[in-house]
Amino acid sequence: MPVLPGAEPYRHEGGEVGVLLCHGFTGSPQSLRPWAEFLAERGLTVSLPLLPGHGTRWQDMQATSWQDWYAEVDRELRVLRERCRDVFVFGLSMGGALALRLAARHGDAVRGLVLVNPANKVHGLAAHALPVVRHLVPSQPGIASDIAKEGVTELAYDRVPLHAAHSVRQFFRIVDAELPQVTQPVLLLHSPRDHVVPPADSARILGRISSTDVKEILLEQSYHVATLDHDAERIFEESHAFTGRLAPGAGPVGSPMPEGRGGSTTGG
C-alpha cells in the first residue's frame, strides 16, 4: 500500500548532534514533523522514520508487531550513531516507550531522552481480554487526534487493530521491566488532560528509571498529541535547550546520511 500523503518519513542532514524521533501507535511521522523541522532548522541531524504497518491503512498493522517497530528505530539509531557525535532520542506516546528501550539497551550511545506523554501500559478492562478478543474482533475505534487546539488533526488510523494492540501491550511490559536500566538524562513533558495515556504512566516511568538528571514539565494547555497542540512550541524549545545543554554545538557536518526506504523525504 502507498504511504498516505503527509505520513512519509523525514530526514535532514545537519551537524554532529543527531536526533531520532519516534511516533506513536497507529500514528505517523506527521504528528512529529513540525518538531523535526524545528530541530533541522537549528542545525541538528534529524531522523523521523515511519514505523512498519503505519501510515497506510490499519489492516497493514495486523501483520506487524512490536519487534518490527523496535527494529526500525534501532536501525535508525545505528545509522545516526555512525554519522553523529551525540545522538538523542525523542518519542511521543508509544514512541516514548521505544525511546526508553533504546536507552536501556544502547547505554551511552543515547545521550539523552525527551519523552512526550510516554505510554507505559494498555489501560482498561478490555486490555486483559486482548489475547482472546483479537481472534474474534479485528479492530476497535481509534485513538487519534486527541488535540485541544481547534482545527488540528492527527494523521493516524481511525481503527485500532487488535493483534497489534496485543503486541503493544506485551511491549509495554518488557519496557517496564527494563526501566531501571535507563540512566541517561531525561526531559519528560506530559499533559494532565490526556485522554489516551493517563498521567500515571509518566509517574511510573519517572519512579522506575535510574536517571539522576531528570526534568518534568506539565503541558497544561494540551491533550495527548501535544506536539501538534497549544504547547508544541514549548516542547520544541525545551527539547532544543536540552540537547544544547548536554551536547553544545552542532559541530562540522559529517558524512551524508544514507537515504531511507521508499517514500522518505529530506528536509532543509
Cα–Cα distance for residue pair 39/124, rounded to 1 Å: 36
- Cβ atoms of 226 and 191 closer than 8 Å: yes
Over range 114-131, report the average pLDDT. 78
Instruction: Give the pLDDT confidence of 83-118 residue by residue, as tens digits.
Output: 999 999 999 999 999 999 999 999 999 999 999 999
Instruction: Give the pLDDT confidence of 151-178 residue by residue, as tens digits.
Output: 999 999 999 888 898 899 999 999 999 9
Quick one: how many helices (H) and strands (E) in the chain? 7, 10
Active site residues: 93, 194, 224
For residue 117, give the nearest of 204, 194, 214, 172 by alpha carbon: 194
25 is in an annotated binding site: yes
Copy the grid coordinates of residue 253.
557536518
61 is in an annotated binding site: no
Could you tell me what percent of the chain has a pLDDT over 70? 87
Burial class of 95 by CB neighbour count within 10 A (0 to 12, 13 to 18, 19+): buried
Question: What's the pLDDT score for residue 134?
Answer: 64
E-assigned strand segments in the chain: 10-12, 17-22, 45-48, 86-92, 112-116, 139-141, 159-161, 186-190, 214-218, 265-266
> Which fold, 10-246?
Rossmann fold (3.40.50)
Give the chain's length: 268
pLDDT surpassing 90 at residue 43: yes
Instruction: Give the pLDDT confidence of 188-244 residue by residue, as tens digits.
Output: 999 999 999 999 999 999 999 999 999 999 999 999 999 999 999 999 999 999 999
For residue 91, give the nearest of 63, 110, 68, 65 by alpha carbon: 110
Question: What's the pLDDT score for residue 248?
Answer: 83
The domains of the chain are located at 10-246
Q: At what angle do helices 162-178 and 126-133 cross, to 10 degrees?
A: 120
